[in-house]
Chain A
Amino acid sequence: GAVVSQHPSWVICKSGTSVKIECRSLDFQATTMFWYRQFPKQSLMLMATSNEGSKATYEQGVEKDKFLINHASLTLSTLTVTSAHPEDSSFYICSARDGTGEIATNEKLFFGSGTQLSVL
């Protein structure tokens, strides 16, 4: 089946540094990728929707200047957490939609393995 590769799995960084997380679709073209954040014992919260070749659409309350999303190709989207602070520590996960599919057909939505970010 389709695979979404997300790297890195774990990141520990100092406060004030920037962290880049990559999400790649390995055997399909992902015109749309979604970035989620999940705090312990909470649900996945959608941060932004990334469309190839255009600006990402951010959810209310998510700072676009802090969470930079780039979707330059049909197989790669990156999320950069700029000037990370301890409150940004969270589990970040991407998902990708096959370009021809609807989310309602759940087989068309694939998740990366997630990135655990810890900011000291």
Chain B
Amino acid sequence: RKEVEQDPGPFNVPEGATVAFNCTYSNSASQSFFWYRQDCRKEPKLLMSVYSSGNEDGRFTAQLNRASQYISLLIRDSKLSDSATYLCVVFSSGSARQLTFGSGTQLTVLP
């Protein structure tokens, strides 16, 4: 089983739609969780951290469920510029790798 698993998509949604991505992780000792955005052949960029209490940043809402080892990202009122690959990233201090990246979920927002 992969340490961090994501639905690869692709998700093709119309502009203005709401779309949700899911991610599961296998290491129950994982400490911190993030969503990154990566455009084609570009470096990943931090979108937001994920907290158990849930956090929102504009149209983006992230949620963490430690009991189920599950992370989600919700994008409301999607824009064309939201088209990218969204990476779920998990930090575990006990692992030499520390940061583990999911394989990403590809989103295309259509006009």
The residues of A with any CB-CB pair to B shorter than 8 Å are 34, 36, 41-46, 49, 57, 59, 91, 93, 102-104, 106-107, 109, 111-114, 116
Contact = CB atoms under 8 A, between A and B. Distances in A.
A41 B103 contact: yes
A44 B46 CA distance: 14
Given A41-B8, A43-B104, A104-B91, A59 B41 contact: no
A42 B96 contact: no
4 pairs of A and B residues whose beta carbons are closest in the complex: A111-B43, A43-B103, A44-B101, A43-B101
Interface string B73-105: 000000000000001000101001111011110
B49 interface: yes
Given A41-B103, A43-B102, A106 B49 contact: yes
Given A44-B101, A49-B96, A106-B32, 12 more contacts: A34-B99, A36-B101, A41-B104, A41-B106, A44-B44, A46-B97, A46-B99, A91-B41, A104-B31, A104-B93, A113-B42, A113-B43
B87 A103 contact: no
B34 A106 contact: yes
A91 B34 CA distance: 22
Contact of A114 (B4, B32, B43, B98): B43
B32 A112 contact: no
A106 B96 CA distance: 17
Given A41-B8, A43-B87, A112-B43, A103 B101 contact: no
Nearest to B103: A43
Contacts of B96: 49, 57
B8 to A, nearest CB: 7
Contacts of A46: 97, 99
